[in-house]
Structure 1
């Protein structure tokens, strides 16, 4: 358990993991995580997957950059070489992450060619060696995100054996994507939708391994569903695309509904609060030479299914790439949303 100032310890991370935002390549970058943190003070946020070779062999330490405001935040690593993962985990801990997560679920061709991700479901012994090496290198908690199986594996046979081996290696918190991954024949996108979900199997794994902190992932679209899984005995729920595309709907209500925390301000609109909260961050980013679109591409879904949502997206999509675009454009887009809302209420 970490005792560094500002880094959450094990108990705090366990609590935060009641609701987490899934690591998503090209989506959950540092700008996205700042937005999500403004919406929720409590939820656990994950980085995009960072490969251990990129950190250890490539020296790509910029991939670890984040704002302390993002915490509680976890670093997800991809890799399959124990010593290299241990070194990468140490770099992640030195960068300030209180949790280091091993990816045993991504089905992409790029991940398979590197012999890590979901293909590791076929090598539970290697996964155990990897997490044991990582745990030996860091004080931050090491966790695993996995699938229920891959290809022709029978999940009800292999998943308990997989969990037994990683538990024996010291893992005490795991997130299970409730779908198989088909490494041949399905694209990464199809692997997110086509294999059937088996939520009951994940719930059964919690019953079989009561000492493990088990979170469920896959196809979860709203907080009502998340509350249902928690009521059925799971320790946490991880939401991916729904939290990205409708962040105010999911994260804006999460603190009160999932964590029992008081809202930041009673009656305040989470989406508007997020926009206003992002303006200083955007100003600093643009002033440092960054482009507005790097931030606003994550904000397009803030007003999803509300009056003015289309205008909000149009103003940001058309204007954020232009030279000199900054917080004024975002404020203008917010004004258009407010006008649309007033017209709708009239």
Structure 2
């Protein structure tokens, strides 16, 4: 008997520690400097978790029927976890992800429950004149309401699988060691979160109904609580270390092989079509020729040459000018005419870019390679 009492006190202590963990993490996060957007989402999530923990703590000390309204509110807080779980992951992975319509479906379980609570309150206030206090939906229809948590469980699984596959794809093509660490860190966060949900669901819907022996139940509860507390502590550690992943240039969703292939197309079109001969060529026009977006074309050039679009184009123009300066068919052309033929829009630009690329002016280049003297 005394052993069961000691075990019961340990269970109570572990349960209390688990409930107050969100509050401690919230306090630490509030004092964190240089908060990113995902940190603010996490703060909102933890604030809701603190309210949920507060109600859970009251349930330990008070009979459930004495706090009927809080019981119904507690279910709203619980179901809202799906929304915050989804929003937090999206805010880390998607660039400047603030709000999107596909977040609404994760709010449906908590919204539907909120509507049910309002309807229940309205019905009792205006149709039941028996002087009774508010009757909780949780207490009245507990066996039916358990099924409302099914969307939460399914949603967590679906979002977890989506996020895991996205992180796996990002990690596959990631060469930046620092960002790889943050991707791996988020995978741990995801694993710990899903594990906590899985443990709670396993107990609520399976183990608590199967285990009848009180001693075995206490041992099982103690083990699971130790496991959850450990996961929560680890989760807090990784939460605080987590950085946004979208600061990485967007090529993580456009693989290295695809980038190299696109750059090959860019080189081919430069050699065969010579679009650089157009003085007003823009990256948007080149992107249209390639059937790609300007962002991807710019990224392909930058990653393969470490040059900007205009530096890359001007190099081809300089090479073209060098060929024309030595071409016998262009001996009657002036230096300015050669520059214009090569795609430059002025003599000043031609001289400046040519000297930057070759180290000499066009006139000095002519003297150096012994081509016909031009004005």
Give the structure with the higher percent helix.
Answer: 2
Q: Could you say which TM-score interval applies, normalised by the shorter chain?
A: under 0.3
Give the structure with the higher percent strand.
Answer: 1
**Which of the pair has more CA radius of gyration?**
2
TM-score (normalised: structure 1):
0.21
